[in-house]
């Protein structure tokens, strides 16, 4: 540590944090709107983060001898205090990978009718979501009619909640505007302000995901809390 450690900790912190809101209103909210076990765990983690509840450690400057007590972090991925540095590092790493081309944003959303099944089979259904999206995008990238006639790349991020913390399962995809063709020897750029036809993209994605779901349903290896009729 350097002499700057004498700077007052938390000087620039906002007057109110998410943890403060949870402490003030969390229990009352949970009585009216029952939370899932995962949501309750997230709330407990955020409330306890960097407090005596999680223990702590003493930071000491080797130069001046100044000491400061620092409480441990919860390290929950939903905690705004724990994820700020991780988010900054992730963004910096992704920016270093950017190509000098335009980028497109696509969102693939599952219908809320599947929420009960998804809650009981998170990994299985999320894996199918990533698979259906990946196959759909790669298929359109290879197709000269709808796409670019080559191999595309993309980053896909899973979001499970909406801004009101309601279950809303969807993938955000960041897609470079072009593809590698001729086994990587040539770059084909996408047209300005257009990548793939949205309606066709939605139709193919929906068909793939339904087919994957039916195959999983026939195997009978997943917990199914709701009655599903095959059509």
Note the pLDDT tens digit of each residue in 11-22. 555 578 889 999
Together in a domain, 65 and 143: no
Provide the residue range defining the domain that includes 172: 98-219
For residues 103 and 77, state if they share a domain.
Answer: no
Regarding whether 197 and 110 lie in a shared domain, the answer is: yes
Task: Give yes or no: residues 137 and 203 share one domain.
Answer: yes
Q: What is the pLDDT of residue 222?
A: 65
Domain contains 231:
no
Please indicate, yes or no, whether residues 61 and 116 belong to a single structural domain of this protein.
no
Model confidence pLDDT, tens digit, residues 180-225: 998 888 999 988 888 999 999 999 999 999 999 888 888 876 666 5
Residue at 202 is within a domain = yes
Q: How many domains does the chain have?
A: 2
- Considering the domain boundaries, does residue 91 fall inside one? no
Q: pLDDT at position 129, please?
A: 96
- The verdict on 43 and 111 lying in the same domain is no
The pTM (predicted TM-score) of the whole model is 0.66
Q: What's the order of all strands across the beta sheet hosting 103-109? A: 103-109, 167-176, 155-161
Q: Are residues 52 and 130 in the same domain?
A: no
For residues 44 and 105, membership in a common domain is answered with no
Are 127 and 194 in the same domain? Answer: yes
- Same domain assignment for residues 142 and 76: no
């Amino acid at each position: 540590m350097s002499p700057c450690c004498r700077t007052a900790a938390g000087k620039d912190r906002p007057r109110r944090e998410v943890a403060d809101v949870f402490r003030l209103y969390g229990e009352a909210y949970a009585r009216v709107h029952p939370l899932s076990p995962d949501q309750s765990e997230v709330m407990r983690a955020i409330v306890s983060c960097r407090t005596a509840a999680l223990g702590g450690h003493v930071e000491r400057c080797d130069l001046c001898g100044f000491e400061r007590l620092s409480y441990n972090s919860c390290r929950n991925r939903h905690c705004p205090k724990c994820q700020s540095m991780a988010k900054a590092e992730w963004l910096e790493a992704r920016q270093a990978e950017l190509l000098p081309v335009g980028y497109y944003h696509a969102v693939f959303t599952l219908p809320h009718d599947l929420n009960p099944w998804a809650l009981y089979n998170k990994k299985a259904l999320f894996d199918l979501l990533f698979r259906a999206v990946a196959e759909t995008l790669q298929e359109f990238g290879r197709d000269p009619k709808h796409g670019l006639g080559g191999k595309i790349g993309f980053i896909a991020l899973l979001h499970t909640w909406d801004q009101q913390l309601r279950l809303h399962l969807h993938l955000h995809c960041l897609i470079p505007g072009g593809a590698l063709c001729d086994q990587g020897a040539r770059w084909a750029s996408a047209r300005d302000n257009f990548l793939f036809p949205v309606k066709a993209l939605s139709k193919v994605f929906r068909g793939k995901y339904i087919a994957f779901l039916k195959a999983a349903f026939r195997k009978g290896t997943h917990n199914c809390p709701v009655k599903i009729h095959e059509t």
